[in-house]
Amino acid sequence: MNCEQVEERLSAYLDNMLVSEESREVAIHLRSCPHCTRLLAELSQYDMLLARLPRVSPSLALRERLFALAEVRELGETPGHSPHTFSANAQTQPLMPYSRPTLDMRDPRNQPRLLALPGDRDPQWQLPLRDMEIPPTPPTVELRPASRSYPAQRYHPSAARKRWFSPLKVALLAVLLITLGAASLLGLSLRHQPDNVSLSGAITPPAGPFTGQSLPLAAGSRFVFLRAGTLWSTLVDGGQHQPERLTPVNVTVAAGWVVNPPQGNQDAGDLLAYIDSQGGHIHTIRSDSQQDTAVPLALLQSSQATVWQETSGQIILKSLAWSPDSSSLAFVADPAGSGQTGLYLFTPVTGAVRQLAGDLKGSIAHPIWSPDGTRLAFTLAHDNVVSVLDYNVQSRSVLDLSNLPAAQGSGLAGVLALNWFSSGGQVAVTWSLGSIGHISSIWVHRVGTDGTIYPQLLTSGTYLQALYSPGSNNQTGGWLLVSSVVGQAGDLWRLNLTAGGQLLRLSQGKEVGFALWSPDGSGAFYLDRMTNGLGNGHLLNVITGADQLLPDQAMASPAPDWSTDGLQLAYSTDTRIDIVSSHNSAQVTRLHLSGSITNLSWSPATAHQLIASLDGQNSGLYLVDVQRNSARLLDGVGITSALQWTQIP
C-alpha cells in the first residue's frame, strides 16, 4: 500500500475494523513510513482526548419541551394555544382529519431559501471527525432582517462578460500569463528540480560510463542517500564537493538499502547492500563506487513493480541484515514462487549463497544477528502461528524460542520488533507482539541459560509505541513504551531487562505521541500534546528521572536526531532547526538556516557537523557546522528518504 491508501484506512486500523489482510498490509507500511506513523499517533491522541470529554445529556425538562414543541408543530398549532382549549360560546364542530396545507411552489414567496455553508464541496468536511484537521474559522455572515426590503437586482451573464472581457483586456491578460509562466518554469528548472526527473547537469556523476570498475572516489567521510532510484555519495571532508553516483544507470534501488557496521577504527561502514527492483536481485557495492556485485539468486519469480507492494515483497525489502563483522549478509527470498519466504546467507568474499533452515515450513521474516555474529533470530509464520526461532550459523541447528500460538497475549497476531539482549554474559532474545499502534505485550527468552523452553511475559497492555535499545551497560537500555489507554493520558514507561523486567513510569499525566531513545539508552526524547505533528518537546534522563521541557515546540517528522555521542539533539520547529544540549535544555542553538526541513542526520565522525535537507525556497542538502552556525550548500535538491553514512579509508 502507498501512503494515500494507508491514510484512508488509519481510522479503521486504529479501531481494529480492518480485515486481517488489510491490517497486515497497513502494519507493514507503517514500519517504514514515519509520516503515516505520525498520523496514527495523532489519531490515537485525538481518541484519548475525545474519550476524556464529559458526556452531556439533556435534562428531563428540556426533553419534555422539545417533544411538546414537536407535537404542537405536527398539529399545525402555535405554541401557547392548546388544541384542547374551547371557548364557552364556540359552536361544536365535528373533528376532521388533519392535513398539511398545499403550497404552490411556483410562487416565489413559497420557495425555500438557500443558505451557503462553508466547505460545501471540500472533501475534508465529509471525513469523520478524527480523520480531518480542524478547519479555519469561517467568515462571519451578517443576516439581513426580514422586515427590510431591498430592490431586486437581476444577474445578466452577457453584461458581465462585456464588462470584464473586452478584446484589449483579454490580450493583455494572455501576455501577462505567458510571461509569468515562462519565468516560473525557468526558475523552477534552475532552482528546484523534482525527484522524478534526470539529475544530469544538476549533479555531476563520475567521469566515463559506469562499468562496475569505475575510478575510485576520494577517501574520507561520506553520506549516502537515495533519490529517484539511484544511490548518491557526497564527501564532506573540506572543499566544495557535489554528490557522485554510486549505482549503475540500469538499476532501480528500492527502499531498505543498508550500510554495514563500522569495522576497526572506522566511524562508518564501507559496504552497501541494496535491492534492484527492476532485476529482482540484491547488489553489494563498496562505498568508493567499485565492485558492484549482483547476488546470483532471484528474490522473487516476478520482478514487476506491483510485486514489491505485496506482503512477500515488503518482507523481502526489509530483510537485509549485515553480520557484525560484515562477513555475511542475511536476507529472505522466495525464488521458487511458493508464496513462502526462506532464509539465505550471502558471503561477499566468495560470492556464495546458501539457504539456512531449508526444512522449515512457512514464511520467514525479521532476520537479526546476535551481538557475536554466530546466530540469527527470525520469525516463522505457518498455519496462523508466528514463532520466534534461533539459528546457529556454526552448528546449523534451529531452536524454537517461542512455543506460543500467535494469538496468545494479543488478538492481533504478529511479532512487531525482534532484538537481541546481552548482559553479564547472558544472551536473550526479546520481542514485542501486536502491530504498530496496537502493541499488546513484550516477551523475552534467555537462550541456553536455565534450560527453560518457554519465554517470559514481561508486560501486557495497550501501547502506542515500543522501542528497544540495547544500551551501553546494565543501567541503560531496555524497552521504551508509550501507553495508550482509552480515557487516560499516554505516559512514558521503561521496561528494564537487567532487573528482571521491572516496569518503571517515566512521566505522569502526559499525552505522549512520539518517543525516541538516545544512542546509549541513558536518555530519551518525547513529544507531549501533539497537534498536526508539532508538540512540546522533552528531554528525559531515564536513570535519574530528570525531565526538561524544551523552549521551542518540536516536530515529529522529520524525526529528531541525536549526535553519536548523545550530547546533542537536533530537531525541527517546522521552520527552523534547533540544537539542544542533552545536559541542559536551556542551551539552545538556533541555526540561521531556515525553511521546510525534511531530513536531519549527524556526522558519525565530526561531532559538530550535521546534514540537513530542506524543501521549498531554500531547497537542497546542507552541511551545517553547529559550532560556527554556518551552512554550506552541497546539492540544490533536497531529499525525504533515508540518509546513511559511509567511510572510504
**Residue 188, CB-side half-sphere exposure with 13 Å CA sphere:** 9
Cell 452577457 sits on residue: 158
Distance CA 176, CA 187 (A): 17
Within 250-384, strands assigned E span: 258-259, 271-276, 281-286, 293-294, 321-322, 329-333, 342-347, 352-356, 363-369, 375-382
| Ramachandran class of 180: left when φ > 0, alpha when ψ lies in -120 to 50, beta otherwise | alpha
- Nearest 10 degrees: Cα torsion 287, 619, 517, 225: -20
- How confident is the model over 483-508, as pLDDT tens digits? 876 545 589 999 988 877 888 999 98
Q: What percent of the chain has pLDDT over 70?
A: 69
Distance CA 253, CA 277 (A): 6
Is residue 378 over pLDDT 90? yes
* Set of cell numbers at residue 641: 528518504
Distance CA 155, CA 251 (A): 61
Average pLDDT over residues 119-140: 34
Distance CA 254, CA 277 (A): 6
Q: Are 286 and 271 in contact (CB under 8 A)?
A: yes
User: How high is the pLDDT of residue 515?
Assistant: 93
User: How high is the pLDDT of residue 196?
Assistant: 30
Distance CA 33, CA 116 (A): 39
Q: What percent of the chain has pLDDT over 90?
A: 28
Q: What share of the chain is helix, strand, coil (3-state, %, to 5)?
A: 20, 35, 50
Distance CA 45, CA 41 (A): 6
Distance CA 361, CA 642 (A): 34
| Ramachandran class of 375: left when φ > 0, alpha when ψ lies in -120 to 50, beta otherwise | beta
Distance CA 322, CA 326 (A): 6
* Set of cell numbers at residue 275: 535491492
Is residue 215 over pLDDT 80? no
Q: Where residue 366 falls among pLDDT bands split at 50, 70, 90?
A: very high
Distance CA 242, CA 141 (A): 56
User: How high is the pLDDT of residue 199?
Assistant: 24
- Report helix, strand or coil for 317: helix
The torsion angles phi and psi of 132, rounded to 5 degrees, stand at -125, 155
Least confident span in 6-15, 166-175, 281-290, 634-643? 166-175
User: How high is the pLDDT of residue 76?
Assistant: 55
Is residue 577 over pLDDT 60? yes
Distance CA 276, CA 251 (A): 6
Residue 600: CB partners within 8 Å, gap ≥ 6? 558, 559, 560, 561, 570, 571, 572, 577, 610, 611, 612, 613
In three-state form (DSSP H/G/I as H, E/B as E, the rest C), the secondary structure along 280-316 is CEEEEEECCCECCEECCCCCECCCCHHHHHCHHHHHH
Is residue 187 over pLDDT 70? no
Which residue from 467, 468, 474, 577 is spatially nearest to 514, judged by alpha carbons? 467
Is residue 139 over pLDDT 70? no
Distance CA 388, CA 379 (A): 5
Q: Which amino acid is at 48?
A: M
Least confident span in 123-132, 302-311, 534-543? 123-132
Q: Where residue 19 falls among pLDDT bands split at 50, 70, 90?
A: confident
Q: Are 272 and 287 in contact (CB under 8 A)?
A: yes
Distance CA 322, CA 646 (A): 14
For the question of whether the overall pTM of this predicted structure is more than 0.85, the answer is no
Which residue from 555, 635, 534, 565 is spatially nearest to 600, judged by alpha carbons? 555
Q: Are 535 and 554 in contact (CB under 8 A)?
A: yes
Average pLDDT over residues 68-75: 63
Is residue 354 over pLDDT 90? yes
Is residue 137 over pLDDT 50? no
Cell 540469527 sits on residue: 376
* Set of cell numbers at residue 276: 534492484
User: How high is the pLDDT of residue 170?
Assistant: 41
Which residue from 524, 534, 514, 531 is spatially nearest to 562, judged by alpha carbons? 524
Q: Where residue 414 falls among pLDDT bands split at 50, 70, 90?
A: confident
Least confident span in 27-36, 101-110, 291-300, 307-316? 101-110
Is residue 329 over pLDDT 70? yes
Cell 549478509 sits on residue: 329
User: How high is the pLDDT of residue 540?
Assistant: 92
Point out which residues pair with 503 in neighbouring strands. Answer: 495
Question: How many beta carbons lie within 10 A of that of residue 359, not counting itself?
Answer: 6
Q: DSSP secondary-structure letter at 403?
A: -
